[in-house]
Structure 1
Amino acid sequence: MPCVVVVLEVAEELRPLLYASGRRACVHGVIRGLPADPHASLGHVVQSVGVPLTEVGALRRCDGTALVPSYRPAPDEVVRVMPLSRPQLLVDPRFLLDVHLGALARRLRLLGLDVAYRNDAADDDLVAWARREHRVLLTRDRGLLLRRALPRGAYVRGQLPDEQVRDVLTRFAPPLAPFTRCLSCGAWLRPATREQVLDELAPGTRRTATRFTRCAGCGRVFWRGAHARRLDALVAAATARISAGAGNVAASEVRRREHSRAGR
């Protein structure tokens, strides 16, 4: 079967996602002589080098013409693969994390985000779960993001939980509500009196703690304990990150409007 040779110009932000073969073939962001089935879509060609379409903001010809993933590339056509612009705002920010992101799940729940997580969920279960509850699947597994059945997903950048939190917050800029969700199951926390939880507390906690909450889902009791300062610091850093992101978006919008007026 004859092949169509495609040239991809991959934006710098997307190059870490390339498969090893793609990185070897990528010179200054350009992958030349990429063979493709003449019946293959542009989206298939892009994903064949390791870049999930969930991470692509735009596909364009060199003249700026926008292309859709279903487009069939012409022989020797050059296509620019552009990253998503941030933040990628969601109307209903609900997330599902794969089994390798347990620490990230707890930190996002600490910030009050609606996060579903199970440490024994198979890949097929995750895709079905994301579809059923209309959640964005967060993962570092490109194979999951390449699944056609997955409605929405995002690649999480960073090896450490702090880096991953930073990536999720700068990408989606979700509204935060710290200390309102259970770290274990993600359900809402409700105020509880000392008398209501007294029998569930250790003697030391009975003497020192005064304010309590109980999870409406699993019933776990929470209070400000030895880790309070560390958790406060995590929340403060995340809140500052969201505020800074909002300021950057506002500044970009001002610059865009000024540029638009100048061109009139």
Structure 2
Amino acid sequence: MNPQAATFRFYGALNDFLHKRQKGHAINYSFKGSPAIKDAIEAIGVPHPEVDVVLVNQSKVLFSYTLQAGDVVEIFPVQAEREWPTGYVSEEQNPPPHRFVLDVHLGTLAKSLRMLGFDTFYKTDLSDSEIARIAAEEKRVVLTRDVGLLKQKSIRWGYWLRSQHTEEQLEEVVQRYKLQHSFNPLVLCLVCNVRVEEVPKQEVLEELPPKTRLYFNEFYRCPSCCRVYWKGSHYERMQLFVAKVQRM
């Protein structure tokens, strides 16, 4: 079977996934058979959850569209500043939830998201297939530094973190998913991702450091790991952290 060809052009942040010689340029893509356009996009290097709009010959298509010889394909990322006609943007019908599952290398980011009140599934021993399954079954957004993970078919929502630094990663997530007005800080256990419950001081008295017993009266406990929280100096640091993130 002789190869056929189509022309692809990626815009904006999608160029982050391309080879240097491909960035900002039209790409001549050769193929055999009748591939879905989603498969062609990922073969070039761009994971499907990063794509917001696909135009073929200037018309909107779905990922299931069968690529044809001579097609001119334009692929766009999420762009807050760009307005598309109703029905063009993939997230209009299926907006991403504010619930996340993170890969094994993002423990500090998981803690930061929990601090802001976002349901964040994280374990140190999850495989890629387990992350994909959890994302699909529990309707979670996958956050990862692994491009290959985002190419798994069952993942609907996902984002590849550009930075390797936690604070910058958090800013990326807050801006990408427009979380600025959805913060509910300091209500989740930072270890278990479970909502903490207020408890009488008497119930936790024996677990408290001497000075904490003396100076504090409001306490919270995680019903899962039984970790006890109170509004000490660490609480003040958390409040400063939350205020900083809100200004991002």
TM-score, normalized by the shorter chain, greater than 0.5? yes
* 1:48 and 2:43 are equivalent in the alignment: yes
Measured in 2, the distance between the counterparts of 1:76 and 1:111 equals 48
Number of the residue aligned with 1:245 = none
Gaps of 5+ in 1: 242-264
Match of 2:21 among 20, 25, 28: 25
Whether the aligned pair in 2 keeps the contact of 1:105 and 1:117 (CA below 8 Å) is yes
> 1:24/1:171 Cα in 2 relative to 1: closer, same or farther (>3 Å)?
closer
- More displaced, 210-219 or 93-102? 210-219
> 1:91/1:73 Cα in 2 relative to 1: closer, same or farther (>3 Å)?
closer
Measured in 1, the distance between the counterparts of 2:45 and 2:241 equals 33
Gaps of 5+ in 2: 82-90
Number of the residue aligned with 2:70 = 76
* 1:176 and 2:170 are equivalent in the alignment: no
Measured in 1, the distance between the counterparts of 2:15 and 2:238 equals 34
1:178 alignment partner AA:
P
* 1:65 and 2:86 are equivalent in the alignment: no
Number of the residue aligned with 1:148 = 153
Number of the residue aligned with 1:259 = none
Measured in 1, the distance between the counterparts of 2:70 and 2:21 equals 16
Match of 2:98 among 90, 93, 99: 93
2:186 alignment partner AA:
F
Number of the residue aligned with 2:131 = 126
1:1-264 map, 5 Å: 1-18=1-18, 23-26=19-22, 29-61=24-56, 64-86=58-80, 90=95, 92-174=97-179, 175-241=182-248
The C-alpha deviation readout for 1:55-106, integer Å capped at 9, x for no partner, is: 11111135x3112222223323221110123496847422111111111100
1:75 alignment partner AA:
A
Measured in 1, the distance between the counterparts of 2:15 and 2:96 equals 29
SS in 2 for 1:109: helix
Whether the aligned pair in 2 keeps the contact of 1:97 and 1:116 (CA below 8 Å) is yes
Measured in 2, the distance between the counterparts of 1:199 and 1:86 equals 52
How far did residue 197 of structure 1 move?
A: 1.1
Task: Give the structure with the larger helix fraction.
Answer: 1
Number of the residue aligned with 1:250 = none
1:67 alignment partner AA:
V
- More displaced, 64-73 or 149-158? 149-158
The C-alpha deviation readout for 1:110-162, integer Å capped at 9, x for no partner, is: 00111111111111211222222222222121111111133432223321111
Aligned residues: 235
Whether the aligned pair in 2 keeps the contact of 1:2 and 1:38 (CA below 8 Å) is no
Q: TM-score, normalised by structure 2?
A: 0.86
1:26 alignment partner AA:
Q
Whether the aligned pair in 1 keeps the contact of 2:96 and 2:141 (CA below 8 Å) is no
> 1:55/1:31 Cα in 2 relative to 1: closer, same or farther (>3 Å)?
same
**Superposed CA RMSD:** 2.1
Whether the aligned pair in 1 keeps the contact of 2:96 and 2:157 (CA below 8 Å) is no
Measured in 1, the distance between the counterparts of 2:67 and 2:137 equals 34
- More displaced, 85-94 or 182-191? 85-94
The C-alpha deviation readout for 1:195-252, integer Å capped at 9, x for no partner, is: 12111112232233332111122211011233333311221122334xxxxxxxxxxx
